[in-house]
Structure 1
Amino acid sequence: MQFNYSNPTQIYFGQQQIAAIAKAIPPHSNVLLVYGGGSIKNNGIYDQVAQALSDHQWQEFSGVESNPTVETLDKAVEIVKKDHITYLLAVGGGSVIDGSKYIAAASCYAGDGWDILTGKHKVKKAVPLGAVLTLPATGSESNKAAVVTKKATKDKLSFLSAHVQPQFAVLDPDAMKTLPERQLINGLVDAWVHVCEQYITKPAQGMVQDGFAEALLKNLKQLGDNFSNHDDDAWRANLMWSANQALNGLIGTGVPQDWATHMIGHELTALYGVDHARSLTIIQPSLLRNQIEFKRAKLEQMGINVFGLQPTTDLAERTIAEIEGFYLSLGVATRFTEHGGDKTQVIADILAQLESHGMLVLGENQSITLQEMQLILESAIG
């Protein structure tokens, strides 16, 4: 193992921590509060944030979508540039935080912000930002990744930059109290797949990474099995912290990572509007079966250490069945059947998008070619 690891995000975890914003943001900052559809005005989060910002100069920008579009975000970029905003505060889930990362980077670039997503422009500077997490799922509140959609072309792309990693993040489990069950389930499943993308690869003798990943998977499995207790303070807190730890960079250091499920799933979301988390549950079981010989050792390890299965010759196959069964137990589909059209055309459209984005080979072994992607999609799409 050889790696460099740093996570500079200051975490304020627990109830009543939103007040920490007052000191976390420098006092003379000109702040832009960024949020989504307005639910934070109904659950008291907005009022708490406003109180914390009472000694700051600030204004707000709302309307960031659940899959943030560059068309919406560029309107915020104009405000940042025009009004000389010096600090961004993202209040929401991963989409709002991802969108704010784009705003932070694009506001310090004279060209078309979409250049950041296509790789034409490498981020060299960004407006500093902080986050108040309301939906645990992506870990975006303490990592350097963001995913943004271009609605006009149905492109969904990502970028990485240390310059957009939040300087601080408030994780108050009370912010989850009014979330619909569907969003809670999506968050749990998203975090689960994030761990899998860094764990179900190939043995790398990363004892700490594997052990921590297995602990997170067992936590998430227990939370899913006890979903009826989701109104409990401890349930909310443990989901919020597990989702954060799933993608703050730690369990992926020094070990192979996959992310093919995400790359293919992004196209399903961009083209057909499938919830991000549910695009992952549709793709992952079929992808694991397609790649089972490459992933057999880690699947067997997961079967024993996470699901408590006994060793057998078909242990890897049984582990995939357990993963799929976990999704189904939460009422989350593992096949895409709502396309309302020709299955062959759906597959062709997704493959065309993957090819146009340069996704010609995926996976930790670079063994998922376009031909294998087609086989995975044929299995995943009903």
Structure 2
Amino acid sequence: MFSFEFYNPTRLVFGKDSVNSLDDLLPSTARILVLYGGSSAERTGTLAEVRHALGDRVVFEFAGVEPNPTYETLSKAVELVRQEYIDYLLAVGGGSVIDGSKFVAAAAKFEGDSWNILEAWGSNVVEALPLGVVLTLPATGSEMNNAAVITKAESKTKALLATPHVFPQFAILDPTKTYTLPARQLANGVVDAFVHVIEQYLTYPVGASVQDRFAEGILQTLVEIGPKVVFEPADFDSRANLMMSATLALNGLIGSGVPHDWATHFIGHELTALYEIDHARTLAVILPSLLNARREQKKAKLLQYGERVWGITTGHDEQRIDLAISKTKAFFESLGVKTSLSAYGLGTSAIEDVVANLEKHRMTALGEQQEITPVVARKILMASL
């Protein structure tokens, strides 16, 4: 196990009707900006609950944060924050709204061009506005971490922000808020959480038994509840376990003291930026091919993953690895999530565009051993056709 320092200050408030706790969580004198996406938060009544819980506080609202939040839209929110002397942000939504709110929190306090925050991956952030979250779509784990992904629409660039200054102070998780979500978003949430765990777990052994078992438990839970969440009528227990799985998949705990990959994410980000494919669906396309391409480097953990998550205990090593990858791919497909580029109408020309963007954005040494070059990425993408 590697040396590490784990820090996570986010307070989780979990349970039915937990939105009511906003009154206790927020300063009574706060000037609050509520950020959200489209009309669903209004239609489902979540915004009405939030407004009621905020009581007599001074509240402003900013709607229209996109599924892949853009620098251009968020810059308008930053202007509003400064104009109205807002001192607290409240994100109501899923990962995109939370990510966008993190950028607004940092940019509102930043001197100079806020795009420099993203160019420096957040390393130049020294302060940010306080932020709270009401989670409505479990997927990214953004409600309990310090990272965000922001898109610059003009250049189709996806950029990362990571700084401890944007940890949410609290996150409200009410599983009943997922009851009205469409199957597509629920499937995306399951896949996103699953691949988040894989990126921190399926690398190479470092003797981190606790982290491994924790990761495997989340993966097993997602395999167990995934079809129920996507295809069966909503029930509290399955949605509660989805929420907790997604949050714990990326709150830093299972990734402490172990190597990380993230190549699937970085390649997938380029597909989303160029072709607007749902983030989780790009992960489902790339991961099986990446695992196959890196099977020798990941051999020990692939065998462990196959045995502990999928119960694969017979056959020679290569057969077991083949089956583990096949079962992963089949799991995504069983949720209605396609696992090939051709399913999204993309061919070899798209592959060249993605590789070009990886090079443009200096993503030329990806993976836990930094061996996924543009040449290797091209092979992975070709195998994903």
Match of 1:17 in 2: 18
- How far off is 1:369 after superposition? 1.0
Equivalences for residues 94-173 of structure 1 within 5 A: 94-119=95-120, 122-173=124-175
For 1:272-303, what per-residue CA distance to the aligned partner results, in whole angstroms no more than 9, with x for missing partners?
00000000000110111000001111111011
1:38 alignment partner in structure 2? 39
Corresponding residue SS for 2:206: coil
Structure 1 CA distance, aligned partners of 2:367 and 2:329?
A: 20
1:325 maps to: 330
> Is the Cα contact below 8 Å between 1:130 and 1:168 reproduced in 2?
yes
Deviation at 1:225?
A: 3.7
The residue that corresponds to 1:74 in the other structure is 75
Mapped partners of 1:104, 1:269: distance in 2: 24
Give the deviation of 1:340 after TM superposition: 4.7
Quick one: distance in 2 between partners of 1:258 and 1:114?
26
Give the equivalent residue in structure 2 for 1:253. Answer: 256
Does the CA contact (< 8 Å) of 2:203 and 2:261 recur in 1?
yes
Q: Give the aligned partner of residue 201 of structure 1.
A: 203
In structure 2, C-alpha distance between the alignment counterparts of 1:211 and 1:90, rounded to whole Å: 32
Q: Distance in 2 between matches of 1:327 and 1:3?
A: 32
Per the alignment, residue 356 of structure 2 pairs with 352
Name the stretch that deviates more: 50-59 or 120-129: 120-129
Is residue 195–residue 213 contact of structure 1 (8 Å, CA) maintained in 2?
yes
- Relative to structure 1, the CA distance from residue 120 to residue 191 in structure 2 (aligned partners, 3 Å threshold; closer, same or farther) is closer
Change in Cα spacing, 1:339 to 1:215, as seen in structure 2 (3 Å) is closer
Contact 2:121 / 2:160 at 8 angstroms: preserved in 1? no
Aligned to 1:89: 90
Report what 2:247 is aligned to: 244
Contact kept, 8 Å, 1:31 with 1:86, in 2: the verdict is yes
Aligned counterparts of 2:151 and 2:121: Cα–Cα separation in 1: 16
Query: For residues 317 and 338 of structure 1, what CA distance do their matches in structure 2 show?
Result: 22
Task: Give, in whole Å, the separation in 1 of the partners of 2:126 and 2:384.
Answer: 39
Is the 8 Å Cα contact of residues 138 and 187 (structure 1) preserved in structure 2?
A: yes
Q: What is the Cα deviation at residue 312 of structure 1?
A: 2.4
Stretch moving more, 193-202 or 47-56:
47-56
Correspondence list, 1:218-367, <5 A: 218-227=220-229, 228-313=231-316, 314-337=319-342, 340=345, 343-367=347-371
1:179 matched residue in structure 2: 181
Q: Is the 8 A contact 2:121 2:162 kept in 1?
A: no
Distance in 1, matches of 2:129 and 2:312, equals 49
SS in 1 for 2:297: helix
Q: Report if aligned partners of 1:88, 1:128 keep a CA contact under 8 Å in 2.
A: yes
8 Å contact kept, 1:31–1:56: yes
| Equivalent residues, number | 380
- Equivalent residue for 1:377? 381
In structure 2, what residue type is equivalent to 1:145? A
In the TM superposition, structure 1's runs of 4+ consecutive aligned residues that sit over 4 Å from their partners are 338-341
Cα deviation for residue 226 of structure 1 reads 2.8
CA contact (8 A) 1:129 1:166 kept: yes
For residues 194 and 125 of structure 1, the distance between their equivalents in structure 2, rounded to whole angstroms, comes to 27
Q: Match of 1:159, SS?
A: strand
**Pairwise CA distance, 1:339:** 5.8
CA distance in 2, matches of 1:340, 1:226: 29
RMSD: 1.2
Alpha-carbon distance in structure 2 between the residues aligned to 1:62 and 1:360: 36
Shift of 1:7: 1.2
Q: Deviations over 1:54-112 (max 9, x none)?
A: 13111100000000001100000001111111000000000000000000001111322
- Cα deviation for residue 211 of structure 1 reads 0.3
2-side partners of 1:208 and 1:69: how far apart?
Answer: 38
Q: How much does 1:230 deviate? A: 4.8
Distance 2:56 2:206 in 1: 50
Q: CA deviation at 1:345?
A: 2.0
Asked whether the 8 Å contact 2:136–2:177 carries over to 1, the reply is: yes
What's the offset of the Cα at 1:116? Answer: 1.1
Give how far 1:115 is off: 1.2
TM-score normalised by L of structure 2 = 0.97
Q: CA deviation at 1:14?
A: 0.6
Deviations 1:1-23 (A, max 9, x none): 31111211011001010011111
| Structure 1 segments unaligned to the other structure (5+ residues) | none
CA, structure 1 residues 147+57, in 2 after alignment: closer, same or farther (shift >3 Å)?
A: same
The Cα offsets for residues 146-178 of structure 1, whole Å up to 9 and x where unpaired, read as 000000110011110100010000000111111
Return the offset for 1:38. 1.9
Q: Which amino acid aligns with 1:96?
A: V
The one-letter code of the counterpart of 1:174 is T
1:229, 1:235 within 8 Å by CA — same for their partners in 2? no
Q: Could you tell me whether the CA contact under 8 Å between 1:8 and 1:167 is conserved in 2?
A: yes
Secondary structure of 1:362's counterpart equals coil
